[in-house]
A and B are shown apart, each in its own frame.
Chain A
């Protein structure tokens, strides 16, 4: 090391000084996209004290820095998971059946905003939103339609649902029952990550405490009855999209995870009972090395937290299994075809980062409903990298890079500092209720935007290398068939006319009692959905008991 130090000093004094004496460097300060200072060159000096076996080890071995599985992409490529939403339960059913005919085994359901926020399609607040960003689900009848002719023991279903997740999961379980598929055989995922809704994505309903109770009801219920269900996907992606830095994204995601795990332990569950069923998602921004270092640091830090803080013994509890997504806020509507290159970078950093599933955005999705062609390019981007590039031949190819290892250490340390600060504030729940997390994200979001406005942060085609004609793309929305809302309202009316109102009242009363008694609500929600109670009726009852959360606002 001393030799390197000497050699470096003389290089700086002579070679480098001479070279810079003329024109200097392009900028005074170089940083990552999130603002971490970057040196001109990294050497073994930056990794002094690093212990290979302890800090990096081997793929599939603790602390999993190099990958969560021993063979990684040499054994099996990642899952190429694309996300889409459709208007009505009938259309969704047709689309799903088509996908299954094409050989798909995994389905992903997007729900419309009224369903996500617990309003019936008949609610005045739902006007204009019914079936717009996903499928409208009011009662069990809609879920029956979505999965008509689709055997639930043959598919796995991922549901992007949070505040109302217990209701939608209950409907899925009952549809399985109707098909003769016991709940113990169901496989799939509920996103169910309510904490990131409070700090980033925004579709929360109830205050944090009762919201967490619902999240935990799913974890607990599934542990006993739906053992193959992935109960919770803890997301950093949305936190990043809200404007957080890479370190904030990781810190807040892990702080959310810590909160869920502590709450589950408070219910008497052993960490190894439920942690193996938790999964994670992180975003891909612009800086390749920073993102790869973030993914590596995430695996290592998470494993340490699970082992040291929670005493996990099952190695599966320590695996930070992730899904990565292209951050849409890195895409632009000026010279939009260039987004294909940006998305390829997202796929590249995801692969170098060792994710289990990858989503690539469509180049035109910043302003239009992606065309079939652009959706195909998004998928082909992953396939080209998977099969043509040599990226998948060895595991963690950037491991050992002085820069990437130093950045991995730095991100881990900075994330730790944040976690300590959140702990000292009394935990993530307090930090969210006080608005601390929201403030931190807003400050980063403003800083990023200021740097874009000042030209310090370059977006090609936007604030540099602009099109001389200054063309702007038109914005386009999925034109929801205006009949969708009317048909959905009529459907709710029909279900209400056909159902036994006595049964509905009894089920809702029982649920109401359980809300007061602080019991696990899943069995009661199951009864309520069986009676064809609506999403709005079930949520209305909880709104009455718990109130709605008014988030602290910070600008």
Chain B
């Protein structure tokens, strides 16, 4: 009944903090400050969310998609079972600032390096890559060393993801 791959947990994000105030985050974003690259913030942050590999648990990533969108970002979720190639070309075509990947079936150590190599090969060197889902602690140093900016585990409040993206892009 409970698939071992997702263990029914669905990559849900539980907050440990008080009520989430998306409006204030939104407001912050439209204040007219400049981002890291000096670009005008008139352009919304563009985020590509994807599930590469065969894992089909997407309750968590769809929740993240909604919260990022409500925080004023342009969010593209390209759906289940995207190949690395499809994901990379979508990142290029959509000219995204952020790529977010969700893994709940334990194949992240095989697929994340492929995505990072693919992005570099297409010249997307400056894209922020973040990973979420069920990731054992022992894999984190390797993922970060590979170039993943941040790993979000179940229990991460959406504010933390939003702030992380806004701080880095």
Contacts and interface: CB of A to CB of B under 8 A. Distances in A.
A466 B134 CA distance: 21
Interface residues of B, number: 53
Contact of B105 (A113, A326, A454, A550): A113
B106 interface: yes
Contacts of B124: none
B20 interface: yes
Contacts of B62: 442, 445, 555
A518 B5 CA distance: 35
B106 A470 contact: no
B54 interface: yes
B7 interface: yes
Interface string B1-35: 11111111110111110111000000000000000
A418 interface: no
Interface residues of A, number: 65
A83 B4 CA distance: 9
A99 B62 CA distance: 39
A113 B55 contact: yes
**Among all A-B residue pairs, the 8 with the closest Cβ atoms:** A328-B8, A202-B56, A128-B107, A128-B110, A325-B1, A113-B54, A555-B65, A477-B106
Contacts of A477: 106, 134, 136
Contacts of A83: 1-2
A463 B1 contact: no
Contacts of A474: 136-138
Contacts of B66: 442, 446, 555
A453 B8 contact: no
B15 A463 contact: yes
A531 B107 CA distance: 32
Given A113-B5, A129-B107, A366-B8, A463 B16 contact: yes
14 contacts: A110-B4, A113-B56, A117-B81, A125-B83, A128-B106, A325-B1, A326-B2, A326-B8, A333-B154, A359-B2, A453-B157, A455-B18, A463-B14, A463-B15
Interface string A525-555: 0000000000000000000000000110101
Contacts of A452: 14-15
B111 interface: yes
A331 B58 CA distance: 17
Interface in A281-338: 281, 323, 325-329, 331-334
Given A328-B9, A445-B59, A126 B153 contact: no
Interface of A: 83-85, 110, 113-114, 117, 119, 125-129, 132-134, 201-203, 237, 241-243, 281, 323, 325-329, 331-334, 359, 361, 365-367, 369, 442, 445-446, 449-450, 452-455, 459, 462-463, 466, 470, 472, 474-478, 480, 550-551, 553, 555
A329 B14 contact: no
B54 A129 contact: yes
Contacts of A243: 59
B79 interface: yes
Contact of A453 (B20, B75, B138): B20
B12 A329 contact: yes
B158 interface: yes
Interface string B62-88: 110110010000010111110100000
Given A128-B109, A325-B2, A462-B15, 11 more contacts: A132-B105, A132-B107, A133-B5, A328-B8, A331-B9, A455-B15, A463-B14, A463-B16, A466-B16, A476-B136, A553-B79
A462 B16 contact: yes
Given A329-B10, A445-B59, A125 B54 contact: yes
B118 interface: no
B12 A203 contact: no
Contacts of B1: 83, 237, 281, 323, 325-326, 359, 361
B79 A331 contact: no
B105 A133 contact: yes
B10 to A, nearest CB: 5
B91 interface: no
A265 to B, nearest CB: 30
Given A202-B56, A475-B136, A555 B13 contact: no
Contacts of A475: 134-137, 153
A446 B15 CA distance: 14
A86 to B, nearest CB: 10
Contacts of A85: 3-4
Contacts of B109: 128
A45 B66 CA distance: 42
Contacts of A119: 54
Contact of A202 (B4, B16, B58): B58
A461 to B, nearest CB: 10
A328 B106 contact: no
In the complex, which of the residues B6, B7, B157 has the most CB atoms of chain A within 10 Å of its own CB atom?
B7
A355 to B, nearest CB: 12
A453 B77 contact: no
Nearest to A134: B4
A132 B7 CA distance: 13
Contact of A334 (B5, B83, B155, B157): B155
Contacts of A129: 53-55, 105, 107
